[in-house]
With several copies, the nearest count.
Chain A
């Protein structure tokens, strides 16, 4: 299952959605809003998505992962809107028979999402805000 949602991500429900009798290993990766970036204090994050394309790009990534590793079930849930410190921005869950595949596939999915999926993150600081990594010359 792939989804973009404005609601808080329900980890237990996500886990339930990928459980099955053949699975011996599940890797769950959570990307969380942390309270600082390069020593600058973050108040909150704002995520924006080009929903239609973001979902189809995540589908491509999942399909590629499926071809490379024996994935039994997976889920990718990306949240958008305003997120506070400590909230989960993305959950990736991969169920496999053996643990090595779960770790590697999960890592591949998050790394590739960060490269290709049209979702944008704005860091809101005490004294300003900044679209992450958008402009030359900014951090």
Chain B
């Protein structure tokens, strides 16, 4: 089944992609790792990040976690709060 996942982008990931969120086409079922591959393909500049994590519904997620269109997905580049 084909669908779109909305991905929130912050900080450097927003600068590298030029967007504060993107809609990524996926084939369900899909996993965090699949989404990351797709994003790296669409935005090769993401490879320059020291780290790139994914949050699903506000929690850090592993690459094998399944995701769908109703999840809130965000890319987390290296944090620098404080």
Q: Which of A's residues lie within 8 Å of B, judged by CB?
A: 31, 47-50, 52-54, 56, 78, 89-90, 110, 113-122, 131-137
Contact = CB atoms under 8 A, between A and B. Distances in A.
Give the dominant DSSP class at B's interface: mixed
Nearest to B81: A119
A52 B77 CA distance: 16
B72 to A, nearest CB: 8
12 contacts: A31-B82, A48-B10, A50-B8, A50-B76, A53-B59, A113-B82, A114-B80, A118-B79, A118-B81, A119-B81, A120-B79, A121-B81
Contact of A132 (B10, B55, B74, B80): B80
Interface residues of B, number: 20
Interface of B: 8, 10-12, 15, 48-50, 55, 58-60, 74, 76-82
A136 B55 CA distance: 21
A135 B77 CA distance: 9
Given A54-B81, A120-B12, 12 more contacts: A53-B55, A53-B58, A53-B59, A53-B74, A114-B82, A119-B80, A119-B82, A120-B11, A120-B80, A133-B78, A134-B50, A136-B49
A131 B12 contact: yes
Contacts of A89: 82
Contacts of A47: 81
Contacts of A31: 82
B74 A131 contact: no
Given A48-B10, A133-B50, A110 B82 contact: yes
In the complex, the 10 A-B pairs of residues with the closest C-beta atoms, listed nearest first: A119-B81, A120-B11, A134-B12, A132-B80, A131-B12, A53-B58, A121-B80, A114-B82, A135-B48, A117-B81
